[in-house]
């Protein structure tokens, strides 16, 4: 066991007040509550106000996590924000969050790994803590998906919601708690399955890109679905083997909230009962990098994840990327 453990000492989330229901979609799209519910498990998702953007959602979640950790915000050594829907292209959303918190001085940067981004961030944070570099790291997954969602595309727009989740990861010596395992993976050849074509250096914004709706998420849902079922199953099996864990040893799987059918299929196949898989997708939809920390905070609040529990996180998304983590809470 490492001398210093990277322990999750606080969690927080923020979900915007405005709610978009499946019935709301029926008013402007050729879809139905029944189709969306049976194909995805989603009923509602939260949507940011016009005057809110990613750093605002991230800041509210961060405040809640810092309060939960019981630390002074000035003791934060590093801020990492995982997002693909940043506040602005430049500077990083993490710098905006730092300004809002009023804690100039500490390091702050963003990472981009789409829906796997929160676990990528945990892996980075863990190295800084275990290596003895930092004592308290604020890690946030935050997305304003609605700004990049094409509400004329019924195959994708029904999936996404806005929100932010945050954790404080702190150094603790000789602890039996901590992030004990992370696995990061990617296959860049899969980028066409899920991407935003324009707005980057490859295809800068122009009248044409706007007219062609190229600033919105393009998704090949059926292909991602197959990839996600396979990867979720592989990730869980790998984490169990690498850490010598059985189904009984794992108290809760906190998966990326992508589609209830995907989770049911992968977890069911491996023998996990539904009460060992935390799902809030019906209320929040897919919030990409924010999905896992929002779910973790809700699970802790509801007493479904408790101190001392062993939890397994799994995620997959654009890139393609996929990742897992095992944590002793
Ligand atoms: N309402 C009604 N009908 C619809 C809708 C809708 N909202 N969307 C698509 N359809 C239609 C299609 O047009 C198609 O009709 P057709 O057979 O006449 O051509 C039919 O429903 C089936 O379409 P599919 O795309 O095959 O539907 P599927 O069962 O695969 O469900 C979904 C689509 C929900 C997107 C699914 O593929 C999925 O969950 N994919 C993976 C999740 C995903 O892509 N998440 C995005 C983020 S990625 C990530 O987080 C990893």
Q: Block means of pLDDT (10 residues each) for the chain, length 329 residues?
A: 89 98 97 97 98 98 98 98 98 98 98 98 98 98 98 97 98 94 97 97 98 98 92 95 97 96 92 95 98 98 97 97 98
Task: Please identify, among 175, 203, 219, the residue that sits at the C-terminal boundary of a domain.
Answer: 175
Ligand 1 and 40: CB distance under 6 A: yes
Domain count, the chain: 2
As a dihedral over the C-alpha atoms of residue 148, residue 153, residue 158, residue 162, rounded to 10 degrees, the angle is 10
* Active-site residue, from 22, 95, 106, 115: 115
Instruction: Report pLDDT for 219.
Output: 96
* Shared domain check, 154 and 207: no
Instruction: Report pLDDT for 174.
Output: 85
What tokens were used for 101?
């918190």
Q: At what angle do helices 260-269 and 221-242 cross, to 10 degrees?
A: 40
Q: Is 115 a catalytic residue?
A: yes
* Shared domain check, 237 and 141: no
* Shared domain check, 249 and 290: yes
* Shared domain check, 207 and 296: yes
* Shared domain check, 193 and 299: yes
* Active-site residue, from 64, 136, 259, 286: 286
* Shared domain check, 230 and 195: yes
CATH of the domain at 245: 3.40.47.10
Spatial CB neighbours of 318, under 8 Å, sequence gap ≥ 6:
84, 114, 115, 191, 193, 194, 195
Q: Is 78 helix (H, G, I), strand (E, B) or coil?
A: strand
Q: Nearest 5°: phi and psi at 105? A: 125, -45
* Active-site residue, from 256, 259, 267, 280: 256
* Shared domain check, 164 and 220: no
Ligand 1 atom nearest to 225, measured from its CA: 41
> How many whole angstroms from 33 Cα to the centroid of ligand 1?
14
* Shared domain check, 193 and 169: no
* Shared domain check, 324 and 187: yes
Instruction: Report pLDDT for 2.
Output: 66
* Shared domain check, 260 and 239: yes
Instruction: Report pLDDT for 1.
Output: 60
Domain that holds residue 324: 179-328
What's the CA gap between 226 and 248, in Å, rounded? 27
> How many whole angstroms from 129 Cα to the centroid of ligand 1?
41
> How many whole angstroms from 287 Cα to the centroid of ligand 1?
17
Ligand 1 and 155: CB distance under 6 A: yes
Peptide bond into 91 cis (omega under 30): yes
Instruction: Report pLDDT for 186.
Output: 97
Q: Count of alpha carbons within 13 Å of 293, Cβ hemisphere only?
A: 42
Q: How many helices (H) and strands (E) does the chain have?
A: 10, 13
Tracing tokens 């860049």 back to the chain, one arrives at: 188
Task: Please identify, among 175, 208, 229, the residue that sits at the C-terminal boundary of a domain.
Answer: 175
Ligand 1 and 219: CB distance under 6 A: yes
Ligand 1 and 158: CB distance under 6 A: yes
Q: Is 157 a catalytic residue?
A: no
Task: Please identify, among 175, 207, 233, the residue that sits at the C-terminal boundary of a domain.
Answer: 175
Q: Is 286 a catalytic residue?
A: yes
Q: What is the CA radius of gyration of the chain?
A: 19
* Shared domain check, 189 and 118: no
**Prediction pTM value:** 0.96
């Amino acid at each position: 066991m490492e001398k210093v453990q990277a322990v999750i000492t606080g969690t927080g989330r923020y979900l915007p007040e405005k709610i978009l229901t499946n019935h709301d979609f029926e008013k402007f799209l050729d879809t139905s509550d029944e189709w969306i519910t049976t194909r995805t498990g989603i009923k509602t998702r939260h949507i940011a106000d016009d005057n809110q953007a990613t750093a605002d959602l991230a800041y509210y979640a961060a405040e809640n996590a810092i309060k939960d950790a019981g630390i002074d915000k000035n003791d934060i050594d590093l801020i990492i924000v995982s997002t693909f829907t940043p506040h602005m292209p430049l500077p990083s959303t993490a710098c905006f969050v730092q300004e809002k918190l009023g804690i100039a001085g500490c390091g702050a940067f963003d990472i981009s790994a789409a829906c796997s981004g929160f676990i990528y961030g945990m892996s980075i944070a863990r190295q800084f803590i275990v290596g003895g570099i930092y004592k308290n790291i604020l890690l946030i997954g935050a997305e304003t998906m609605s700004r990049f969602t094409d509400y004329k595309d019924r195959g994708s727009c029904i999936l996404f919601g806005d929100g932010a989740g945050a954790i404080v990861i702190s150094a603790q010596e000789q602890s039996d708690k901590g992030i004990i395992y992370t696995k990061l993976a990617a296959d860049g050849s899969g980028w066409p399955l899920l991407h935003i074509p324009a707005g980057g250096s490859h295809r800068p914004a122009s009248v044409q890109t706007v007219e062609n709706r190229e600033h919105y998420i393009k998704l090949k849902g059926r292909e991602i679905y197959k990839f996600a079922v396979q990867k979720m199953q592989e990730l869980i099996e790998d984490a169990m083997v690498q850490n010598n864990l059985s189904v009984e040893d794992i108290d809760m799987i906190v998966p990326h909230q992508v589609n209830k059918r995907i989770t049911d299929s992968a977890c069911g196949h491996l023998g996990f009962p539904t009460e060992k898989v935390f799902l809030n997708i019906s209320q929040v939809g897919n919030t990409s990098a924010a999905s896992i920390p929002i779910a973790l905070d809700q699970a802790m609040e509801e007493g479904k994840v408790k101190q001392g529990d062993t939890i397994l996180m799994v995620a997959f998304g654009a890139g393609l990327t996929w990742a897992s983590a095992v944590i002793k809470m």
